[in-house]
Amino acid sequence: MSGTAFASRCGVHDAAREAACQQTARLIEASGVHSVRLGWCDVHGQLRGKTLMAAAAVRALRDGVGMVGTLMLKDSGDRTAWPVFEPGATAELPEFAGASNLILLPDPASFVQLPWIHGTGWLRCQPWFTDGRPVPLDTRRVLQAALARLAETGHGLKTGLEVEFHIYRITDTAPQLDPQRAAWPGEPPEVAMIHPGYQLQAEALTDMASEPLDIVRRTAQALGLPLQSLEIELGPSQVEAVFDATDALTAADQMVLFRNGVRQALRRAGYHASFMCRPPFPHIMSSGWHLHQSLVNQRDGRNAFARQVPAEGTAPGSAGHTLSDTGAHWLAGLLAHGRGMTALCTSTVNGFGRFRPNALAPQAILWGQDNRGAMLRVVGATGDPATRIENRIGEPAANPYLYIAAQIHAGLDGLTQRLTPPPASDSPYAEGNDLLPITLGEALDALQADATLTAGLGPGFVPYYRRIKQLEIDRHAAAPDSQDFERREYFSRI
């Protein structure tokens, strides 16, 4: 174990990690891969990285590989949000001046072979400063810090993913690949639907879409993801993937890998997958990302939200009728910070078109007992070990590390202050309810005003996030054709 390796200078390379590096090196050699992609998740939830030859990838396990730091400063259209070459322009982010380097350090335990391309492996990475300090703005690190805070209470977070998205058949790649039409960002390909929609979970539509769904299934399973089901959603060309619940950090990692993997595998087979909330077509149905969550008691592994019998004197509309005291406090925290967390859960201009009445999407900050119109849906009953809270606020394009970190900081505030939630609502679209933000700009204002979330996410993170997202908002507002902006910025890229 070399003390001069970059991983040692970062303070993370011990005997266990050295053993993992040696095991991964053997896997790379035995698998016969010629290339390894070193992937890192940016602030928008998209994978970026470098492709190394196998021998170089083995060296990078200990020494890392350089990455231009401005990758952390990009908005959704790849514009750099800070003028890094102007003196003093990065005073609040001095390590990023001059487009200086960061170092990507792989997790040796994350190695997988990519099933859609021969001879290529993949490793998950996180960025570090060149002097061995962690980069606090890295969104995976933001979630790791939130989970560390949660662990101090004796709990872990268990989450289940329920993700809607759209798949189309590519009919013409000319708009995207014609060099005469190249632009920044470029056009998407021309597409046709894989099913006509408006027959929720219809077996006939499942058969019609069987080829792309089978590609999704094979890709997810080959990547080791715990895919539970694939379903036809209500909208035209819309589908849904549901995963078994797991610990929160693993679930976030899986979401990043799933989105990236299915887009690439489907593209090779002539399909275009989009995790954009509302693709730019008439009569489209919005896609959501519903995040199921419960706390786990670290001592015995039991669900800390489950209640064996209703609390004394409670009615079915009371949180204490279904949830434990811990679960009720957590629910109240999510409600108290509902407006503040919205920009982390629905993170694009396009995503706010989903918050409409009677659309199986939330519009107001309230909870309901198994009510799919509510922001927070409590699922389960007394005696049910799977009792949980489902947050329905998210869009499938959201950065999963930030989405989940927001739940932790909000829920922890409810837990530590012993907040009490109001009664459940059975009319989630009624007038007079406290509404969610209706634009990304309003959501960013709410995040900045939320002292609990701002402090929990770490020094400087909210101004950093807001500046990147504000550039996206400003460019969208200035675009001559907002729908064309969203076609290029979102449908083409996410």
Q: Is the pTM of this model over 0.85?
A: yes
Each residue's pLDDT expressed in tens, for the chain with a length of 494 residues: 445 799 999 999 999 999 999 999 999 999 999 999 999 999 999 999 999 999 999 999 999 999 999 999 999 999 999 999 999 999 999 999 999 999 999 999 999 999 999 999 999 999 999 999 999 999 999 999 999 999 999 999 999 999 999 999 999 999 999 999 999 999 999 999 999 999 999 999 999 999 999 999 999 999 999 999 999 999 999 999 999 999 999 999 999 999 999 999 999 999 999 999 999 999 999 999 999 999 999 999 999 999 999 999 898 899 999 999 999 999 999 999 999 999 999 999 999 999 988 888 999 999 999 999 999 999 999 999 999 999 999 999 999 999 999 999 999 999 999 999 999 999 999 999 999 999 999 999 999 999 999 999 999 999 999 999 999 999 999 999 999 999 999 999 99
* Structural domain span for residue 266: 147-491
If asked whether residues 252 and 351 sit together in one domain, one would say: yes
H/E stretch holding 447 reads helix 440-449
If asked whether residues 412 and 314 sit together in one domain, one would say: yes
If asked whether residues 162 and 110 sit together in one domain, one would say: no
If asked whether residues 276 and 230 sit together in one domain, one would say: yes
pLDDT for the residue numbered 1 = 46
If asked whether residues 117 and 153 sit together in one domain, one would say: no
Helix, strand or coil, per DSSP, at residue 31:
helix
pLDDT for the residue numbered 480 = 96
If asked whether residues 127 and 152 sit together in one domain, one would say: no
If asked whether residues 124 and 151 sit together in one domain, one would say: no
Domains contained in the chain, number: 2
If asked whether residues 16 and 100 sit together in one domain, one would say: yes
* Integer Cα distance of 446 and 173 in angstroms: 41
If asked whether residues 129 and 153 sit together in one domain, one would say: no
H/E stretch holding 435 reads none
Where residue 258 sits, what CATH number does that domain have? 3.30.590.10
Phi, psi of 103 (to 5 degrees): -120, 125
Where residue 96 sits, what CATH number does that domain have? 3.10.20.70
If asked whether residues 94 and 165 sit together in one domain, one would say: no
In a domain, 1, yes or no: no
Which 8-state DSSP code applies to residue 74? B
* Integer Cα distance of 303 and 292 in angstroms: 13
In a domain, 141, yes or no: no
User: Rg for the chain (alpha carbons), in Å?
Assistant: 22
If asked whether residues 269 and 406 sit together in one domain, one would say: yes
